[in-house]
Amino acid sequence: MVMTYLLFASALDGTLYAATSLLGICYGIQVAIIIPTVSELFGLKHFGIISNFMALGNPIGAYLFSGLLAGYLYDNEAAKQHSATCLGPNCFRLTFLLLAGVCCVGSVLSIVLTWRIKPVYQMLYAGGSFRLPQSSNH
């Protein structure tokens, strides 16, 4: 996602197609990985509630970053151009750079979470399998 937003911010010729494709792949992976992440980190007791809470991240982020932040920055850039509409790549450059920064912070937090939960998985898989051994008495 960081690379995608940096491609959008660069506004070079031909980067729109690559950045849009990469953005779609990133969102698809994010949506696909939410369910196993919720079940492994929080268990299945309140899976529905936690899963729906995690799914709220995209619409809330879209409102905050697209509706509020991007609109505000676009209006400021249009005011600099002394016009009601903004023209050129500078209209959304700062928005994409801020989104890249937020995604970078999210990536760092994800690495920290992975590092902190690593001992739990090492303990779970220390015996080679997480399943109970089957007895031959059946």
- Position 138 scores a pLDDT of 52
Q: What is the spatial distance between Cα 87 and Cα 77, in angstroms, rounded to a whole number? A: 9
| Residue 17, amino acid | Y
Q: Is pLDDT of 136 > 70?
A: no
Output 129 or 95, whichever has higher pLDDT: 95
Task: Give this prediction's pTM.
Answer: 0.82
DSSP letters of the chain? -HHHHHHHHH--TTHHHHHHHHHHHHHHHHHHHHHHHHHHHH-STTHHHHHHHHHTHHHHHIIIIIIIIIHHHHHHHHHHTTSSS--STHHHHHHHHHHHHHHHHHHHHHHHHHHHHHHHHHHHTTTS-SSPPPPTT-
Q: What is the spatial distance between Cα 25 and Cα 17, in angstroms, rounded to a whole number? A: 12
Burial of 19 (0-12, 13-18, 19+ CB in 10 A): buried
Q: What would you measure as the largest C-alpha separation in the chain, in angstroms? A: 84
- Reported as a single tens digit per residue, the pLDDT across 86-119 is 999 999 999 999 999 999 999 999 999 999 988 8
- Reported as a single tens digit per residue, the pLDDT across 23-75 is 999 999 988 998 888 888 888 999 999 999 988 988 999 999 999 999 999 99
Q: Cα separations (Å) of 20 from 3, 24, 69, 82?
A: 11, 6, 20, 30
